[in-house]
């Protein structure tokens, strides 16, 4: 994984995106453009170094719904992968690495995952990572699930 920054349209697990939009986003992004700031990580194929997706660990803006503290601004984990990279364990591997690194460098705090309730694959991944579902809310014309974990639980 390489450190990076978000560019282009916001990428959140809870936002519906057509496959073609994800492919265009990742193709336009390109690895060199992604790697200039901390907070976003490149998920790349080990053999070809092809960009397969991105993973972000950033502060959830206080003006968005879905928080576990009154002031908001909690760490939020989000990711986007090309369809042909689904099911290979890449999101789990990338999330585990990013969360372990953050846990070793930041004070303990809540980490959020927000995804559409209908996105059972993302909810399964969140549970596998140790996140627990705490609430649901309506956003982006769909029910969203808010899951939370404490950062220290990711220390190796």
What is the chain's mean pLDDT, rounded? 84
pTM for the structure as a whole: 0.78
> For the residues 33-62, what does the mean pLDDT come to?
83
Q: Which among 31, 75, 21 is positioned nearest to 53, based on CA atoms?
A: 31
Strand order across the beta sheet in which 110-116 lies: 3-4, 40-44, 51-59, 75-81, 110-116, 142-150, 132-139
- The pLDDT, as a whole number, for residue 44 is 87
- The pLDDT, as a whole number, for residue 17 is 58
- Summarised one tens digit per residue, pLDDT across range 131-151 is 999 999 999 899 999 999 999
Q: How far is CA 12 from CA 107, 112, 144, 153, 156, in A?
A: 24, 12, 11, 23, 26
* 102 backbone φψ class: left, alpha, beta (φ>0; ψ -120 to 50): alpha
> For the residues 62-87, what does the mean pLDDT come to?
93
- In this prediction, residue 16 has a pLDDT band, given cuts at 50, 70 and 90, of low
- In this prediction, residue 10 has a pLDDT band, given cuts at 50, 70 and 90, of very low
pLDDT exceeds cutoff 80 at 24: no
């Amino acid at each position: 994984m390489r450190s990076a920054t978000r560019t282009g349209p916001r990428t959140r697990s809870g936002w519906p995106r057509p496959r073609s939009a994800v492919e265009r986003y990742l193709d336009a992004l390109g690895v060199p453009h992604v790697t200039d700031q901390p907070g976003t990580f490149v998920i790349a194929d080990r053999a070809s170094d092809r960009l397969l997706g991105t993973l972000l660990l950033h502060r959830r803006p206080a003006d968005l719904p879905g928080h576990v503290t009154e002031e908001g601004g909690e760490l939020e984990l989000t990711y986007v992968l090309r369809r042909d990279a689904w099911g290979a364990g890449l999101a789990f591997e990338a999330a585990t690495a990013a969360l372990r690194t953050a846990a070793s460098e930041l004070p303990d705090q809540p980490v959020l995952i927000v995804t559409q309730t209908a996105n059972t694959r993302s909810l399964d991944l969140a549970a596998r990572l140790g996140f627990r579902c705490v609430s649901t809310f309506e956003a982006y014309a769909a029910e969203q699930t808010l899951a939370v974990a404490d950062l220290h639980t990711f220390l190796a």
